[in-house]
Structure 1
């Protein structure tokens, strides 16, 4: 059975979002899958800019949030892509594995706080007051709100990716085969 909404090729790309194809949207299978709904992809672009590029978390914290969310969602696509991105930022494999709970012990410090926040959002659908206060003290109120938004953003992507069985992009798949965790 062929699943609907497989990543669109350049030849299949909708004319109304042609301007997005040569940017972020054409670069990854996740957005080539979303291109089946041009209005959604166009609306997604400004939020993606904030969540991915302009958030108050910064690149390392952001990757930690995304890794934990990908693990909790069970999104193999997001996990593989963000292992690659975390490595590109210089994050060691042990720190990455800690976001999956494979760290020879409990994740502590700020990484543990981030993992606890992501877990609370998945398990309780909110940040408990004490955890919210500790996060705000540690990373700042705007970063806390960006953490919540990042979990939501990547959850939506995970639902799309897993529903349509979107394949990991070729370059990331090769990296994961050649340099498994």
Structure 2
């Protein structure tokens, strides 16, 4: 019987068809090295990743709020760890990051609207009218659609890393071990 766990592919096992992506996003992180077991999926993923990660109308800060809240809801230590690192690089305080793990009442007003929307999308597969109105006021209609796309994108990544126990990348693990997340004043 074969082992159903898909380990991140090593450089020596990297598919030739993905050679152009090995030195880019796909070769840099274990989640994409795991996805590389399905080269056509990684190739198709590239354009969506470009939009969701880099070109989103949400902007980088709001996008990180979406991703961190989705990581919490999906119990994805991999995505949480990677995005704590990224949020810190964007200037988020540890308290702001830590608040995204808890109730929306403990968050700043903008983060609470976004996190509440993520919660609803993952729990209900939709937004209630009140949440939709608040979110639209905050990010506009394109932002609402980008929130859906971001939640879907990171849910897929969460499913992959959780199912295959994809290890947190060494650089991220070492960074968080050296500087653990602390809940300090925002």
Q: Counterparts of 1:8 and 1:55 in 2: how far apart (Å)?
A: 29
Deviation at 1:137, TM superposition (A): 1.1
Preserved contact between residue 3 and residue 165 of structure 1 (Cα < 8 Å):
no
Q: What secondary structure is seen at the aligned counterpart in 2 of 1:97?
A: helix
Q: Counterparts of 1:123 and 1:35 in 2: how far apart (Å)?
A: 30
Deviation at 1:139, TM superposition (A): 1.3
Q: Counterparts of 1:140 and 1:102 in 2: how far apart (Å)?
A: 24
Paired residue for 1:148?
148
Q: Counterparts of 2:89 and 2:8 in 1: how far apart (Å)?
A: 25
Q: What secondary structure is seen at the aligned counterpart in 1 of 2:106?
A: coil
Q: Please give the root-mean-square deviation of Cα atoms over the aligned residues, in Å.
A: 1.5
Deviation at 1:164, TM superposition (A): 0.6
The runs of at least 4 aligned residues of structure 1 exceeding 3 Å deviation read none
Preserved contact between residue 21 and residue 27 of structure 1 (Cα < 8 Å):
yes
Q: Counterparts of 1:147 and 1:44 in 2: how far apart (Å)?
A: 17
Tell me, yes or no, if structure 1 residue 138 matches structure 2 residue 161.
Answer: no
Q: What secondary structure is seen at the aligned counterpart in 1 of 2:126?
A: coil
Tell me, yes or no, if structure 1 residue 67 matches structure 2 residue 46.
Answer: no
Q: Counterparts of 1:114 and 1:157 in 2: how far apart (Å)?
A: 20
TM-score relative to the length of structure 1: 0.95
Q: Counterparts of 1:57 and 1:46 in 2: how far apart (Å)?
A: 17
Paired residue for 2:111?
111
Q: List runs of 5+ in structure 2 lacking aligned partners.
A: 182-186
Q: Counterparts of 1:108 and 1:12 in 2: how far apart (Å)?
A: 45
Deviation at 1:108, TM superposition (A): 3.7
Paired residue for 1:161?
161
Match runs of 1:14-93 below 5 Å: 14-93=15-94
Q: Counterparts of 2:91 and 2:133 in 1: how far apart (Å)?
A: 29
Q: Counterparts of 1:96 and 1:124 in 2: how far apart (Å)?
A: 24
Deviation at 1:102, TM superposition (A): 7.2
Q: Counterparts of 1:178 and 1:102 in 2: how far apart (Å)?
A: 27
Count of residue correspondences:
180
Q: What secondary structure is seen at the aligned counterpart in 2 of 1:52?
A: helix
Preserved contact between residue 6 and residue 164 of structure 1 (Cα < 8 Å):
yes
Paired residue for 2:184?
none
Deviation at 1:133, TM superposition (A): 1.4
Deviation at 1:2, TM superposition (A): 6.1
Q: What secondary structure is seen at the aligned counterpart in 2 of 1:140?
A: helix
Deviation at 1:178, TM superposition (A): 0.8
